[in-house]
Amino acid sequence: MKIHQLPRRAKGFTLIELLVVITIIAILAGLSFAGVNLAMKKAKKTQGLVAATSLATAIETFYGEYNRLPDVQGEVETDGGGTKLLQVLLALDGAEDNTRSIIFLQAPEAKGKRGGIGYEGSGDNVEGMWDPFGNPFTVILNTEYEDRLTFSYGSQTVNLRGKQVAVYSPGGDGELNTTDDIKSWD
């Protein structure tokens, strides 16, 4: 009696099976990258909130120590006219407002104008302070010393009772009045 054997299948995977597995892995990797990107944006926003709050607290502490605000305009950006304010809060050379040389602000050094304070040359001159997305902070001082700090924020008017300072930046998208804004008062 003759026994018929079925042809043996070669061991391994077919090209179709391999392509299906690679496609599934690519889809899962894409989904995880989106989640990681969202988590990184949230972490950057949190870093920015800490920096904005630290800057506002440093100015409030200066106000408590000297019973006046630093001698700067009412609204400055931390990479322009606000560098004088940073010099005062960091007690660097040339900060005449801070006669007791008290260091009010502790912040990390910026990495390429992102996420901290940048210094020019030897470190005695401040170049600016930026949020983690690379935007300068806007600082609004209550130079009228009124009970309420009122200012325009994008298309809104903000009223902060009992505050001497407000700090904000537009966040990752660079536009005000969006969900990723960084504000010291919320």
Q: Domain count of the chain?
A: 1
Q: Is 173 within a domain? A: yes
| Residue 42 domain-assigned (yes or no) | yes
Q: What are φ and ψ of residue 185, in 5° steps?
A: -105, 0
Is 1 inside any structural domain?
no
> Domain for residue 116, yes or no?
yes
Q: What is the rounded distance in angstroms from the CA atom of residue 73 to the CA atom of residue 141?
A: 8
Residues in Cβ contact with 144 at an 8 Å cutoff, skipping those fewer than 6 apart: 74
Per-residue pLDDT, 66: 95
Per-residue pLDDT, 96: 83
Rounded to whole angstroms, the Cα distance separating 100 from 104 reads: 11
- Provide the pLDDT for residue 86: 93
Main-chain phi, psi angles of 68, to 5 degrees: -165, 165
Q: For residue 93, what pLDDT is reported?
A: 76
Inter-residue contact 186 to 167 (CB < 8 Å)? no
Per-residue pLDDT of the chain (186 residues; tens, 9 = 90+): 677 776 666 677 889 999 999 999 999 988 888 888 888 889 999 999 999 999 999 999 999 999 999 998 889 999 887 899 999 999 987 778 899 999 999 999 998 899 999 988 766 789 999 999 999 999 999 999 999 999 999 888 999 999 999 999 999 999 998 999 999 998
Question: Is 9 among the domain residues?
Answer: no
CA 39-49-169 angle, 5° bins: 100
Residue 115: which domain range?
Answer: 15-183
Give the end-to-end CA distance of the chain in Å, rounded to a whole number. Answer: 89
165 domain-assigned: yes
Where on the phi/psi map is residue 9: left (φ > 0), alpha (ψ -120 to 50), or beta?
beta
Task: Give the per-residue pLDDT at 151.
Answer: 94
pTM for the structure as a whole: 0.81
- DSSP label at 71? S
Please report whether residue 4 resides in a domain.
Answer: no
**pLDDT at residue 35, rounded to an integer:** 84
Specify if 78 maps to a domain. Answer: yes
